[in-house]
């Protein structure tokens, strides 16, 4: 039984699975149900000045019948009175002292506003704060959320104001709606952030109704961009986490967010440098009970790998992530097709023929269709193995090169040496 406890900048939690600040953490009732189900922590839905919400609010993207491949929302921060939230936070923490309760906050970019809310929230007893600099819709139009999260100076300054009064660890939640997330991550660190969390949602429009021509979702025939999350955003989030984790100028822990749906996704984020993860869409799709397999699966995975504590997994893949210029130009893999396993859907052939490097031959051997890779033309792009529907039919195998490894950067520096 591996140790799943985490310590993220001093915030302790029985496991790395937190609910992200979002509809699932809107009330004490919900957060308590989540803790009963096994969630290690919860980031309370963002508190701030009272707002009004609209209906409808959510939309999702289905792909080939798979529902909620991506999820879009135009809901704002909490629409319940601050006092009610604070009372419920107090009660929840009292009932679940060992679970982490982090409260998400968003106020106008003014020092006194931040001081006021931080004090009020910390007075009821919380384990940490998360500054919402990421929400891309509604609040951004009022200069909050991603509007301030897109300006590094505002991120730094507001973090600093919070740190002036905060007694608990401060996590800064970053928006992905920016060219280089490491810039705002560094700004947060300069402001004194104890940790950062990422990503918030990505600006999005889920779709257009082809009959009514309304946007999806729409409010009385009018739409506005929302925030995108769910499985579809995982690769974007994973890269952003990794870019921050490998940034030498930056050294605070990361709470990973973005399309995490199971223990495997969580393990990937942890390997890429996240100390813990936050989940929303998967819980909204299936309910709180999904955490059972997350915990169980991660535990079994760690046991299988002989790793005693999940904290020992954090960042293990980060050193293997670099810039393109540091990749070995002489490394070679090629596709190999096992015709005994192949079911002859021929998807690899047509994918290669139409859209890649025309190196998979389709031929007939005593009446049986066969596929063969012409290795000399194969560039090792992986496309065939990606489209192959059968495990084990196509393997990408390494072909040892006689040439010593050389990266683009090494090559360029060699060339410039010659030029001298």
Partner 1 sequence: MVPIQENAMTEQLKRNFVEMNSRMTKNEALEEANRCLYCYDAPCITACPTSIQIPNFIKKIASGNMKGSAMTIMEANPIGASCARVCPTEELCEGACVLNASTKPIKIGHLQRYTTDWAMESDVELFKKGESNGQKVAIVGAGPAGLSAARELSRLGYGVTIFEAEAKAGGLGNYGIVSFRLPNDVVDWEVEQIVKLGVDIKTNTAVGVDISVEEILAQYDSVILAVGMGAVPNLGIEGEELAGVHDAIEFVKQTKMGLLTEDLVGKRVAVIGAGNTAIDGATCAVRLGAEQVEILYRRTEKEMTAYQFEYEFAKQDGVAFKWLTAPKKIIGDKAGKVVALECVKMKLGEAGADGRQRPEIIEGSDFVIEVDAVIKAIGQTRFVSLIEAFGLEHTHGVVDIDETTMQTSNKKVFACGDVVFGNGQGEAMVVTAAQQGKDAAYVIHEHLRKPSEIA
**Residue 363 to residue 271: CA distance in whole angstroms:** 43
Q: How many residues bind partner 1 (CB under 8 A)?
A: 13
Closer by beta carbon to partner 1, 65 or else 248: 65
Q: Which of 249, 390, 397, 414 binds partner 1 (CB under 8 A)?
A: 390
Structure tokens at 261: 């749906």
Instruction: Annotate each residue in 259-278 with x if it binds partner 1 (CB under 8 A) or - if it does not, as one string.
Output: --------------------
The answer to whether residue 135 is catalytic is: yes
| Tokens representing residue 245 in the block | 């984790």
Q: Are 125 and 166 in contact (CB under 8 A)?
A: no
Angle between helical axes of 82-95 and 28-37 (0-180°, round to 10): 20
Q: Which is nearer to partner 1, 313 or 342 (CB)?
A: 342
Residue 189 CA, chain-centre distance (Å), reads 20
Cβ atoms 26, 48 nearer than 8 A: no
Least Å from the CB of residue 346 to partner 1: 4
Q: Closest approach of Cβ 369 to partner 1, in Å?
A: 8
Of 60 and 155, CB closest to partner 1: 60
Work out how close the CB of 210 gets to partner 1 at its nearest, in angstroms, rounded to a whole number. Answer: 9
Contact region with partner 1 (CB under 8 A), list: 135-143, 302-310, 341-349, 377-385? 341-349
Output the CA torsion 104→107→113→117 (10° steps).
-20
Q: What is the dihedral of CA 290, 294, 296, 299, to 10 degrees?
A: -170
Q: Does residue 221 contact residue 215 with C-beta atoms inside 8 Å?
A: no
How many Å apart are CA 420 and CA 418, to the nearest integer? 5
Q: Applying CB under 8 A, which of residues 350, 370, 379, 396 lies at the interface with partner 1?
A: 350
CB 260 within 8 A of CB 203: no
Contact window for partner 1 (CB under 8 A) among 137-145, 253-261, 287-295, 342-350: 342-350
Q: How far is the CB of 216 from partner 1 (least distance, A)?
A: 15
By CB under 8 A, tell whether 357 contacts partner 1: no
Q: Which of 347, 357, 372, 374 binds partner 1 (CB under 8 A)?
A: 347
Q: Which is nearer to partner 1, 364 or 402 (CB)?
A: 364
Does residue 306 belong to the site contacting partner 1 (CB under 8 A)? Answer: no
Number of Cβ within 10 Å of residue 386's Cβ equals: 12
> Between residues 221 and 367, which has the closer beta carbon with respect to partner 1?
367
Binding residues among 25-84 for partner 1 as defined by CB under 8 A = 64-65
Q: How far apart are CA 188 and CA 362, in angstroms?
A: 55
Binding site for partner 1 (CB under 8 A): 64-65, 343-347, 349-350, 362, 369, 389-390
Provide the annotated active-site residues: 135
């Amino acid at each position: 039984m591996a140790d799943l406890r985490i310590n993220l900048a001093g915030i302790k939690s029985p496991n790395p699975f937190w609910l992200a600040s979002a509809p699932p953490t809107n009330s004490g009732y919900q957060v308590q149900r989540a803790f009963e189900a096994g969630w290690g922590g919860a980031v309370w839905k963002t508190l701030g000045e009272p707002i009004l919400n609209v209906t409808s609010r959510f939309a999702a993207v289905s792909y080939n019948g798979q529902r909620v491949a991506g999820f879009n929302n135009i809901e704002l921060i909490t629409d319940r009175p601050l006092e009610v939230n604070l009372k419920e936070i107090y009660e929840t923490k009292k009932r679940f002292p060992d679970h982490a309760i982090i409260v998400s906050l968003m106020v106008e970019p003014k020092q006194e506003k931040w001081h006021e809310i931080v004090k009020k929230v910390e007075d009821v007893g919380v384990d940490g704060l998360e500054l919402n600099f990421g929400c891309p819709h509604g609040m951004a139009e009022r200069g909050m959320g991603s509007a301030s999260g897109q300006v590094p100076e505002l991120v730094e300054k507001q973090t600093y104001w919070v740190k002036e009064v905060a007694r608990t660890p401060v996590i800064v939640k970053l928006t992905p709606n920016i060219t280089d997330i490491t810039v705002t991550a560094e700004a947060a660190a300069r402001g004194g952030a104890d940790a950062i969390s990422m990503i918030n949602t990505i600006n999005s429009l889920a779709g257009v109704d082809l009959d009514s021509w309304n946007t999806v979702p729409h409010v009385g025939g009018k739409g506005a961009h929302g925030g995108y999350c769910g499985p579809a955003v995982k690769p974007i989030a994973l890269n952003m986490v990794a870019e921050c984790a490998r940034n030498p100028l930056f050294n605070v822990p990361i709470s990973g967010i973005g399309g995490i749906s199971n223990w495997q996704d969580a393990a990937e984020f942890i390997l890429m440098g996240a100390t813990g993860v936050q989940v929303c869409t998967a819980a909204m799709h299936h309910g709180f009970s999904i955490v059972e397999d997350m915990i169980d699966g991660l535990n079994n995975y760690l046991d299988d790998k002989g790793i005693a504590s999940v904290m020992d997994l954090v960042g293990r893949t980060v050193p293997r992530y670099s810039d393109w210029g540091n990749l070995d130009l002489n490394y070679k893999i090629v596709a190999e097709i096992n015709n005994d396993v192949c079911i002859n859907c021929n998807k690899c052939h047509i994918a290669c023929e139409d859209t890649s490097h025309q190196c998979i031959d389709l031929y007939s051997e005593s009446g049986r269709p066969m596929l063969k890779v012409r290795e000399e033309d194969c560039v090792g792009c992986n496309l065939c193995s990606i489209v192959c529907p059968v495990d084990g039919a196509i393997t990408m195998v390494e072909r040892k090169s006689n040439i010593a490894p050389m990266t683009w950067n090494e090559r360029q520096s060699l060339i410039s040496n010659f030029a001298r």
